Every structure is written in C-alpha cells, then in structure tokens.
Amino acid sequence: MYEPYPVPELAQEHKKFRYSSLWTFAKQDLRQLLFLLLIAGLVGIGVGYFWVFIFIALSLFFVLQLHSLYLVNEWISNRPYDVPPNLDGIWGALLFNVYRAQRQERIVQAEMVGLIDRAQSSLVALAEAVVLIDELHQIEWWNPAAEKLLGIQPLDRGRNILTILRQPSFIEYFNHIDQAPDGLKMKSSAFEDHYVQVKLTRFGGESRLLVAYDVTRMHNLEEMRKDFVDNISHELRTPLTVLSGYIETFTDQEELNPRWKRAFDQMQSQTRRMNALVNDLLLLSRLESNKQIAKNQIIEMPSLMNQLFDDAQAYNVDYHHTLNLDIDSHCDLIGSDMELASAFSNLITNAIKYTPKGGTITMGWHDDGEHGIFTVEDTGIGIDPKHLPRLTERFYRVDSARSRQTGGTGLGLAIVKHVLMQHSAYLEIESKENKGSIFKVIFPKERLYQMSE
C-alpha cells in the first residue's frame, strides 16, 4: 500500500506556530505616547503654551515611529537573515514575528533540501539507470548508472532523449508508452553485447521517468533456452523420420501377427505425436527468433478460409460435427500466410477436438471497418474462466489426459499467441463450461488489405 512520505516534524510545528499578539506591544507605544503627552501638557501649562507643547510631543512621537519604520525597512531590505534591531513597541513586535517566521521557514527549507539530497543520493547509488525527461522530451537529470547503461553524457543535459536513444523500437515505445506496460528490452547503446529493460512512466503531465536495468544475463539464458530447444528438436527429427519409416513399413505388412500389429499401430501413433511435437517446437522457435518470417504477404482471405474449411472437413470425419463457414468481409490480410494458416488451423482443430461428437463448429471472417476478426465458435466442452489467463502458455492444458488422447501437443495456443504477436493481433476467448467457446483473433486496421466492393 502507498504510504505518503511523512511531513517533517518542524513543518508540522510550523503550522501550529503562534505569532506574538500585536496588542501587547502596541500598549508600549501607547504608554510612550501618553508619557510624552503628559510631560508636554505639564510643561505647556507651566509656560502657557499648552497646545504648542502637545503638538511638539505628537511630532516627536511621529518622528520616533518614522525612525523605527526606517530601521525595519533597512533590516528587511539589507540584512533580513541577521538578528533584527532591538525595537520596542509595535515595530519591534513586527520585526520579531517576521524574523521568527523566517527562521522557521529556513529550518523547514533545510529539512526539505536534506530530504531531496537524500532522495537524490539514493538515486545516484542505484544500479538501475534513472533519467528524468521533461515535457519537451529533453533530459533534465540522470544518475551515473544511466551514463554506464545508456551512454548519457554530461553534455546531453537539455538534449532530446530521442536523439540519444535512437533505436526505432525505443521511439515507438516512447510515443506509445501505454501499449507496452512491461516496458521494452533493447540493446544497450553504450555497452557492446548488453541488453537493457527500459520502463517509462509519465508524471506531472507530459514529463517522463525512465528506469533501465541490465538484463543481459536473462537475455543470454533465454537465448540458450531457445537454442537448446531448437537444437534438440532438429536432432530428434532424423531419428524420428527413420523410426516412423520402419514402423510404417512393418504396419503395412499384411501377414503381421495381430499382437504385433497392435503394438506397431501404437508405435505409429506415438511417433506421429512426437513428430507433431517436434514440428510445433521448431515452429515456435522460428516464431520466437523472429527470423525467416515474411510478414508482408497479401493473404486472400476467401481462399484461405475455404482451404481451412476443406482441411477441417477432412479432420472432422471421426467427429461428425456440422461445420459452417461464414465470410462477411471483403478485406484481405497482410501477413505471413504459412504462419497465419497454422494459427487458424490450430484454433479450428482445437474446436473440433474439444467438442463432443455431433456438435457445431462455425469459422468466420468479419471486419468492423477498424479491425479484421477471425472467429472459431464451437458447442464443445468449454473452459473454466480460471484457466483462460494461462491457456496460451506452453504445455498448459485444462485436462492433460484428454489433450493427449486427442493427440494434442500442448503447444497449439502458444503458437497461436506468437503468430498473433508477429502480426500485432490478439486473441479473445469467450467460453462457458459444457456450452462452448468462441476464439476471436482481432487484427488491427494496418493488417487489412483493400476494401473491394
């Protein structure tokens, strides 16, 4: 929970601070005036010039007041931090109150400066880079870690951050902070072969706080993991091909003993599963490495949808579902045809697999002018909402036994997620247990091609 920073005690004291009552001091002035008037009155009566002496007394009082006013002004203008001149009466009180208020203010200020210093020195000590960027995108302040990780130099004060961190991915992130709540991983511009995770936060209107930290170790581990999975999948491919070739030859032999036949059938189905697994792992690793994917092909959606429909019908022979195709858009897609076909096909086979025999599966392609929407709707077993957030994780299954039984690899939706990420698209799932599910793939406008009538 957020705890507000405690206001320093003196600052609180300051609010309770009581100024001396002016009346107490005004009484001193009154006494002085009365005294002067009394003396002047007596002398005036004695010498017979009462009003003249009263006038002199009033003038004297006025001069004394002017003198005090002069001293007050002189102190405030020239030496406000020195101890004020010692004055009686109302001016003395005024000086004293001003001086006391000022001292309190200075103590509070010193505490605040101390606090700021402490906050700043803790930022300086941080291993994470911290950069303050003003509303004009200029660098205001940074800590030493920012010099090391991001290459910011003393001369860069006041320079536009986008002229220093010039990677297109950073510029994109800087302009659309909200679209990447986890920040951005990018190559360090100062450190060869180093990677930093950058996170921007808006504050005070359009100012931004940049925090970056070194994630090279994590990046390297992740790369090692990807290479390992990629290599092992490649290595498994050849022995699997040999095995399945022999198994197929044996299974096809007519004079095979029925006991052996059953064993060979099982071996065949298991090698098929392993093959599917290896192929899915290779596809995932290709998607993750972001290589060899041409994302700018124009994909004719009616023909792709018909192709998917035909494949679904072939897959459907054992399930006897009613399959529907619903195309209600003239838009085509811009992307990678192989990858998108594979993602759509995963969603369709899932719908077929996870729907009890005789259900209805509808695949659709629509657009609402802003988005292209590919949908697969089934009347199947549905998914408990608690599983939805984790569904696209590798090997996450709601019911492992059922998934294996249906030949699932547990990688289908992870592949879908990666393909969609490559196309700036996202997946929406609506599902009710024992009623069915709708999987929607939503593409942004930039991915739609031409609106032919």
* Residue 265 Cβ vs ligand ADP, minimum distance, rounded to whole Å: 21
Closest to 376 measured CA to CA, from 407, 397, 336, 347? 347
Which amino acid is present at 420? Answer: L
What minimum distance in Å lies between the beta carbon of 301 and ligand ADP? 21
Name the one residue in this structure whose structure tokens are 């003396």.
39
- Cβ closest to ligand ADP, residue 94 vs residue 381: 381
Nearer to ligand ADP, 57 or 413 (CB): 413
Cα–Cα distance between 169 and 299 in angstroms, integer?
A: 26
Of 149 and 391, which has the nearer Cβ to ligand ADP? 391
The partner residues of 129 in beta bridges, in order of sequence, read 212
Strands 372-378 and 360-367 come out as antiparallel
Residues that bind ligand ADP (CB under 6 A): 346, 350-351, 354, 378, 380-383, 391, 396-399, 403, 408-414, 437
Kindly state the smallest distance separating residue 387's Cβ from ligand ADP, in Å: 7
How far, in Å, CA of 112 to CA of 118, rounded?
10
CA dist 205 and 135 (Å) reads: 8
Strand-pairing partners, residue 360, are 322
Q: Which is nearer to ligand ADP, 381 or 419 (CB)?
A: 381
| Nearest distance, CB of residue 413 and ligand ADP, angstroms | 3
Strand partners, 203: 207
Q: How far is the CB of 403 from ligand ADP (least distance, A)?
A: 3
Structure tokens at 208: 């931004």
Would you give the DSSP letter of residue 397?
A: -
Minimum distance between the CB of residue 399 and ligand ADP, rounded to whole angstroms? 6
Judged by CB, which is closer to ligand ADP: 95, or 391?
391
Measured from the CB atom, the residue of 133 and 415 that comes closer to ligand ADP is: 415
Ranges of beta strands (E only) in 322-412 are 322-328, 332-335, 360-367, 372-378
